Amino acid sequence: MPGWSCLVTGAGGFLGQRIVQLLVQENDLEEIRVLDKIFRPETREEFYNLRTNIKVTLLEGDILDAQYLKRACQGISVVIHTAAIIDVTGVIPRQNILDVNLKGTQNLLEACVQASVPALIFCSSLNVAGPNSYKEIVLNGHEEEHHESTWSDPYPYSKKMAEKAVLAANGSILKNGGTLHTCALRPMYIYGERSPFISNIIITALKNKGILSVTGKFSIANPVYVGNVAWAHILAARGLRDPKKSPSVQGQFYYISDDTPHQSYDDLHCTLSKEWGFHLDSSWSLPLPLLYWLAFLLETVSFLLSPVYRYRPLFNRHLVTLLNSTFTFSYKKAQQNLGYEPLASWEEAKQKTSEWIGTLVKQHSETLEAKSQ
């Protein structure tokens, strides 16, 4: 296969950065274009300091700017699309989420057709599959089972519709007469160094004497390490470019998990941080059915107040369901079609994440020290 070029959207994000770090190790890659709306100074610095002979081009632009996207896609062989707004709590207005996650994806597909890009990999979400009810139990689910989210909440809805658009675009005729091939990856809950979710959990716990708030103790999940999710995207790019593998990958979606033990979200966060003295809140918590109906009540209040006041409930039914369901999936299909095997073991992933949490603890204590002086 001759030299190729890759555009990564959302490249400044938690997963996007890891994908770029792995891409620079690809032998026949000639250029990586990293696209994000804005890069933090430290991210920009990291991209400039990548030890590689591959050309790395930083692009700051909006995924909603169709003309900009078309220029960004010129001469590109593969697009890896990770740009998204992730919000399951209702902080961000619905329209913003739909614009970026759905309209942005549609813009990108059109840019691929106009610029004759032959391959696109979409980073989807487990939320596309559900869970729809905390009573539903899915253990080691797989792609042949029909799991589809019925939530109208903006994040799961926008990701579901965007994934449908990506898979429907497989086989589209490009401007140069070629064909666009697409696939989608559905990672489990992603953890690892620099996770914005874990960072928030730890910072909140540091302000609360090291007590981790209990949010998902009734769940059984199979979280996935960020490095392994990034690796799956590299393998999907290879798969779509390989004439032998490509027919079995085109138009498909894959659940991406690894060998992290099945556990609750709370237990995961506790395991990753206990070395630094963090522990779960042992005080009494509401029974799950009561929590669910309380969420329904809060949503109703929010809806009734909406004409005059924007009240945002602390939690909603989607979040309660998401954090308290038995919902795990096998990576067997990705193993068969993409040759996916996790790069990092559970022990390695746990150690690296725990070390990073240690740096957050250190930064926090340094900040407190500076304030007290």
What local confidence, expressed as pLDDT, does residue 127 receive?
97
Task: Tell me the C-alpha distance between 266 and 271, whole Å.
Answer: 9
Q: What is the DSSP track for 221-285?
A: E--EEHHHHHHHHHHHHHHHH-TTTHHHHTT-EEEE--SPPPB-HHHHHHHHHGGGT-EE--S--
pTM listed for this prediction? 0.97
CB neighbourhood size of 329 (10 A): 26
Residue 308 has pLDDT above 70, yes or no: yes
Q: Which DSSP helix (H) or strand (E) runs through 120?
A: strand 119-123
Please give the radius of gyration of the chain, using alpha carbons only, rounded to the nearest integer: 21
38-84 tens-digit pLDDT:
999 999 999 999 989 999 999 999 999 999 999 999 999 999 999 99
Phi, psi dihedral angles at 367 (to 5 degrees): -65, -45
- Amino acid letter, residue 366: E
Q: What's the token pair of residue 129? A: 């599959």
Q: What percent of the chain has pLDDT over 70?
A: 99
102-139 tens-digit pLDDT:
999 999 999 999 999 999 999 999 999 999 999 999 99
- Residues annotated as catalytic are 155
Residue 286 has pLDDT above 90, yes or no: no
Q: Where are the domains of the chain?
A: 4-192+223-259+327-342
Residue 2 has pLDDT above 70, yes or no: no
What local confidence, expressed as pLDDT, does residue 99 receive?
98
Across the range 247-253, mean pLDDT stands at 98
126 secondary structure, DSSP code: G
Burial of residue 9, with CB atoms counted within 10 A of its CB: 0-12 exposed, 13-18 middle, 19 or more buried: buried
The hierarchical CATH code for the domain 4-192+223-259+327-342 is 3.40.50.720
Question: Bridge-partner residues for 173, per DSSP?
Answer: 179
